Structures are given as structure tokens and as C-alpha cells.
Structure 1
């Protein structure tokens, strides 16, 4: 397939404003600019006008090129470190230069080019078609599922999704033993040249824990609702995740304990998970953020209301995700990161589950089971599951997992 090119004629733009920005932000070139192709790098505070002027383009042409670019690309999306290729030619007036072309690689799948024509500058958007490739990954677990996956080159977003769907039933601190295995199949969007542009959906994931394998398959029902199901067509979704963090060790359980800082015995109304600072913390269930900010001895604190009965709290975080009070969150969504703010002796997550406002032992919560497919939907799911199983046989087995099975 050939790239798709979308053209747009230049419109009259704010020439004076762009010229002023360019003059203010551009550094004087070390030597007089010469005709030819020049590569510039976007610097902090750069505007497109500044970059073009720095390369030697006349201010009025920089403004015209800027106006053309806005038809296919928002200049505010320029990133520090991004490359811009600029072609200059000798102008009819001796000693001056003429801006002939500007080429901006936007992403693996998209470039933008501005070319000077008879009637001004024209912007062309070059879009490369993408194909979907199925990728099979996996390995053995030495420390945590997340660490093992990232060390084996599996995208972070795929590992976070896998952790989320298994968090309903797997206690990542107690259930995983060194040498346990995992496997997943996910979509990768590539150009015809094989360059990765983006990642698609997690289609399959499995964990082998102490010799027992749990397999989960993605399925979208007739209403567009997406969930993961076991081989019997039973959803893994429950009201709350069993643990809201991966690879953490329980350092303090629910109940009376001698407080490590205050020195006297007090009721510990949650569970402490010891984990490295910066470890992602996930929302235990769908809900609305009711508290989000510093909260005394709790340090950086988030409280989520899941329904009229259940709420959860997360304390001592190093920093928050980009959320606020009133934000709706999805189960498994990152709400913050492990830290040691507030009254704390080291990095950990203090996690609470509340029923009607009263803290209870998170490990004692009886969670309702998710839905089970039936009838036509069950048959559709079984067909998808069987097709994916056949597809997996054609994909290379992950090297680490193959070695573990030898």
C-alpha cells in the first residue's frame, strides 16, 4: 500500500506575530546561512518561526509556512528534540535565501511536508498505512510480574492491563512463587517497513502459579462491553481488586499493632504493602474520587467511593496521577505512586477498605463474582477463544518461557 497524501493550501496567517516570535526566540546563527538542506532540532521555548529564522529563512516566508502548517498540524504539538528538515535556495535578490521546503517527521506513521508552490506554501500530510501484527510474549517470574515483563521487552501498558485483570483473583504478594510463568498475546500496529507505531489490545493472558494455569481471553459483547473471561466464559471482573499494587510485600496487617513511630499499641485499620518508591498504585474498583491531596499523618492520600457501601483509601503516596476530586476512575487505573509521605518509616502503600465509612480487613472482603456468558454470546466467545488458540500455535514461543519448559 502507498502512503496517503492530504494537501491543504496556505491561508493568510498572523505574519507579524510569527515574525515577532521568531525574532525574539531565535538565536543569531554562528555564520551566515547558506543554500542547501539543513536539519534543526526543536529547543525549549522554540516556535516554528524561531526555528525557520534560525535556519536562515526570511521572516515573511516563515510566517507563510507557519500558516500552511496549521492546516494539517497543530504547531503547539511540537516536541523538544523533534527534528525539522529545512531546504533553502538562493533567492533572485543576491545575498538572500528562499525557503523552498520544510519536512517534519511527526510519528512513525505520519510526516508533514511544506513545499513552496506558484501560489504560496502548500502543506502535505503523508500518512503511512498500518497493519496489525499479533505478538506473543511471556517468561518466568523472579521478583514481580511487572519487572519480569518489562525486562523481557513487553510494553508497560500491556503489563499493566495484565496485572489489572489478574488482580481480581491473584494476590501478587502471596500467590506468586519464583519460577512461576506468564504468557500474553497482544496487538502491535506496524508500518509496512516493520516499524512499531503503537500497541493495540491485549487479547490473551495466562499465569501458571504453582503448576496451575489460569487463562483469560478478551471478549466484546453485543453492547460493546469489553471484559476478560476464563475458558468457561466466566468474567474475572469483581467489585474490587484483591490487591491494588503489583510485586508488593505485606509489611503490616489489619488489626492491633505496636505503632512503629508512636511506640504504643493502636488499631491498624488497613494493610501496608512495602514496595519501591514510584511503584504504580491502581484503583481497586470503578468509582469517584472523594478526597485527593495531603491528609495529615496519611501523607498524600486518595479516597475513592465505589458505590453506596464501599470505598477505598490509598496513603503515603510520593505523587498523584493527573486526577482531582470528582474524577471518575476505572478499575485498574493508576491513581498515584508509592512513597513515604506523612507519618511513615519507609516507602509503602497503606490501603484501606471501608464499608459504610468503617474500615474493615481488606483480605476479609467477600467480592461478588462477575457475569457468566450464556447462549449465543457464549458460542461467540468459544469461537474467538478457539481461533486465538490456533493462532498462538503459529506464533514463536517466548525464549525465556521455552527455556523454562525444557
Structure 2
């Protein structure tokens, strides 16, 4: 039944055949696997730089040569292939193509060909026009109001009548450049005349809008007042790293900050401002009921350093606008005086021999030689205390200044200044002459403080305006009103 075989114990008969068959099948499978392995070892792309001269190398060379020959055989010829040329387009075809292209947009949207009229088309004797035209124009710098209307298509006579109507409500010069004019032009009887103005509307001023309407053939002006809240805008904050940048971040306009810094510089050193100091600005501000806002100049500037609070209010004194502190003291000026006449120094201050009296005495001023009739100006701001004949001084003018100081101008040929008049530094007060005890045309200039003569060449003065009386009362009332404004307006 069983026998010893190469596979161990095997059965006889049919069983043995079956085992042998299975053994043969195993032998055939191994042969197939070895064939596949040989195929995998076949290199179709031979490296012609290695194993030169071997059978594999020659096979690769033959393959490469065959491929190159095939490519060369299949390559196209070097001669161009002849083909038919399209005929040139005619005029009608070019117009048709142009109508389908983008080019018409560059020629005013011309669409090319147009359909020819047929017997059903009737030519119009006159093309219709719109019954109304709405136009927006802008008033330019130095532009005339009537001129803007005529440029928009309004007739000259009607433009002038419209300008006269507007001028009855507001000066045409007060209308700001850049103002937008909205116009409606109506139907005209024929093309030879300008269109009539049916309506004109614009903002004449911040608080006033104007309309010109046509009623029953006549132009009528309609004024539309606009409610405006003029509560000033108050801005506060800490100086921090920089006063200008901190104020700008808080919302203050640049011009108002520049004015504020200049005002501070007249009362303290800007370099002394610390980072923890607090600034306080009040600026002009207007809010219209229509929503627009307008910011103006600086009205008040304050600085709180903790130990000291500086409050400055803009005030007009004697026609001159300056910044006064809370006590009513204005800008302080320190420095020398202006030279009262264009001339040369002929005699200094001190004891000298008088050329007319014939003896030595104190010369209480300085003399400037100058041609007859040369203008004499005030050396500094002041008020005329005396103007007239003054003994040996001849025609003489004396000015009073702050700090109980006076300046005198003698030997004038003619006096211009009048007693009680306020004069500015550099203002004309008279002309050079030789009146009184004088040997020739010159100006005798003298300076007194508390009644004692001073050398004009060495005087340095400090001058500040001081409010008093009713003016000081109004000043403090205005300051109190502004300080009651809340932050943010």
C-alpha cells in the first residue's frame, strides 16, 4: 500500500500517480518563475557607456541606431507646405468685421455699418430734444457766479438776473470756491436761443441754502436758513511723548495746535513741558442741522502741570489780537527798541559841552544826524503823552510805555502824532527838523524810567499788555463761559 519515496512514505497505485502529478506541477511552476525573473533581468535601455563590446552593449547600440533612423525617416521636410491664400476683404466686409470688433469703442462707440433706409422710413425735419436737462457746475477760484451759469448753458441776461437775485441774499464774494451748483434747464422754443433756467440750488453759506425757481415765467429766490450749533469743541489729554502728536491723536486740528504752541511760547518755555502735563484746547466748532461740521481757530489754550495751571484766552486789545492769561496780562516782549530815524549817531548820552549854551551839562539822550524831513518812527509800542512845543526841545513828542517808561523825540520839523493816540513800533510820528535849541537838522532821542533819564543805547525793556476795568470784566466773563464747555463739545 505504501512505499518509501523521495517525498517520504507514499501510497501505491492511483495514489502514487496523484502524488507524482502534484510533484510535477510543482516543478513546472518553478520553471515559470525562473522565466519571469529572466525577463526582469532584461535591460531594454542599455547604458552604452558601460560594458563596451559585450553582447548586451551591441544589442543596445543596434536598438539606438534603429530608433534614430526611424526618427530621421519620419521627420518632415524643410520646405514649407504650399496652401491657398484668403482673398483680401472688400470695403463692406471690412466694415462688417470692424462692427464685430472692439475697435469701435475707441472711436466714440461707432458700431460700423448702419442699415440703409427703406421706403418705409420718413426723414425727420427736426430731431426732438429733452424737455429738461439737469446740470451740476462748480464755482472755481476767482470765478464769476454769472460766468458759471453761462458756461452751463444759461443765457447771459438770465444769468445776470440770477446773480443779482443771489446777491440780494448773500454777497457773491462770500460764496466759497468749490461750491456745487445744481441746475435744471427747461425747454427752449428753438435751437437758436439758450435754455431757460428752471431751478438753481446751492449752499451759499454754512448756515444758508438758496434756491432760484421759475414761477409763472419769473425767477424767484427762496432762502432756506439752516440751524447751526456753535458750541466750541473742547479737547483735553496728557502730553505723553509729544504735545503735538498727543493733541492730534485727541482730535485737535493741526493749525489750532500750532497756534497753541506759539501762545504757550510767549508765556513759558515749551521745553519745560513734561510728559505728565495735561493740555486743554477749545476751538471754534459749528454743527449744522444737515449734518455738516466746520472747525475754526483756537479760542483757548490751557496747560496743567500739577503745581501750576496756565490759562490763555485770545483777546483783541487796541485793535491787536493777542493771548492773555487768566489775570488779563498779555504777551510779554523783551528786547531793544527800534532805531527811531535812519541817520548816524552825532552825540552820545552823558555830560557834554552844549554848543549853543556854551557850558557843560548833562545830555539826557542821544542825537542822530539825518536830512531835513526824514521820517521819525516810534521806537516801541506806546501811547502819545505829549505832542507840541517843548522849550529847548522845539517840536517834541513823548510816548508812554508799560513799566512806567517814556521815550522822547525832539527838534521835529512837523509832528504827526496826536495826544492820546496809540502807536505801534515803527509807526510814523513826525519828521526831522531843527526847532528849539538846535544847530542843524537832527533827532534828539531820550528814554526815561520813573522820571530818571536812561541811556537809550543800553536800554532793554520788558513790555506786556494789561487789561483793566470793563474790558477785564468782559475778558473774565468770556473765559468763564469757555471753561464751562464740556470735553467733546
- What TM-score results when the alignment is normalised by the length of structure 2? 0.40
Query: Radius of gyration: which is bigger?
Result: 2
- What TM-score results when the alignment is normalised by the length of structure 1? 0.47
